[in-house]
């Protein structure tokens, strides 16, 4: 039985690494503040430890006002979310950066301004297994359960045995099949 809410299928999408370019924003801010340059492809671990020139202190910039709202939309994401909305109610489940006072409010504004997400369709929490959905698109293997789809990124290559999508068109095609639409 597919998970529904008030008769509608719930299709969930993660934000960072799926809709928003968190890693690219880190690269931009670190280059500007520290003159340290790296590419998104050089981020092959969640904690950036293998990224050339990365220092743990750089994560402090993620807590600054403007960091979240300044993120770029990932290619194809606006198209993808619009397609998913043809299948059901699309919600965003996103985990806020710990200890960042303006993260949640900036994220809500960003999701509204780029994707027309109403605040009732945004869930900000760390444990995504608490949220019932038919399917979730996420780049973190730890969040994947049931029919969820892993979005392929340089930092999740180590995860084996999960269904993954490298682009939005294949992700939408997968969801269509899983939801039988």
CA gap 44, 50 in Å, rounded: 7
Task: Provide the minimum distance between the beta carbon of 22 and Mg ion in the complex, in angstroms, as a whole number.
Answer: 7
Closer residue to Mg ion, CB minimum distance, 17 or 80: 17
Closer residue to Mg ion, CB minimum distance, 1 or 130: 130
Task: Provide the minimum distance between the beta carbon of 58 and Mg ion in the complex, in angstroms, as a whole number.
Answer: 18
Q: In whole angstroms, what separates CA 78 from the centre of its chain?
A: 13
Nearest-CB residue for Mg ion: 17
Closer residue to Mg ion, CB minimum distance, 1 or 158: 158
Task: Provide the minimum distance between the beta carbon of 95 and Mg ion in the complex, in angstroms, as a whole number.
Answer: 7
| Residues at the interface with Mg ion (CB under 5 A) | 14, 16-17, 139
Question: Please, are residues 67 and 29 in contact by the beta-carbon 8 Å criterion?
Answer: yes
Question: Strands, DSSP E only, in the chain?
Answer: 4-5, 8-13, 89-94, 122-124, 135-138, 149-151, 164-165
């Amino acid at each position: 039985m597919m998970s529904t809410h008030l008769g509608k299928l719930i299709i969930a999408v993660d934000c960072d690494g799926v809709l928003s370019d968190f890693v690219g924003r880190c690269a931009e801010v670190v280059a500007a503040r520290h003159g340290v340059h790296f590419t998104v492809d050089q981020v092959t671990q969640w904690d950036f430890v293998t990224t050339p020139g990365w220092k743990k202190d750089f994560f402090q910039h993620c807590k600054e006002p403007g960091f979240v709202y300044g993120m770029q939309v990932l290619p194809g994401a606006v198209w993808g979310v619009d397609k998913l909305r043809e299948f059901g109610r699309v919600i965003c489940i996103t985990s806020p950066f710990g200890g960042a006072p303006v993260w949640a409010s900036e994220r809500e504004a960003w999701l509204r301004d780029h994707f027309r997400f109403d605040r009732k369709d945004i869930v900000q929490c760390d444990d995504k297994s608490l949220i019932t959905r038919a399917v979730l698109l996420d780049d973190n293997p730890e969040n994947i359960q049931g029919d969820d789809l892993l979005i392929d990124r340089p930092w999740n290559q180590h995860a084996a045995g999960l269904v993954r999508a490298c682009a939005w068109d294949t992700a939408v095609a997968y969801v269509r099949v899983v939801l039988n639409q």
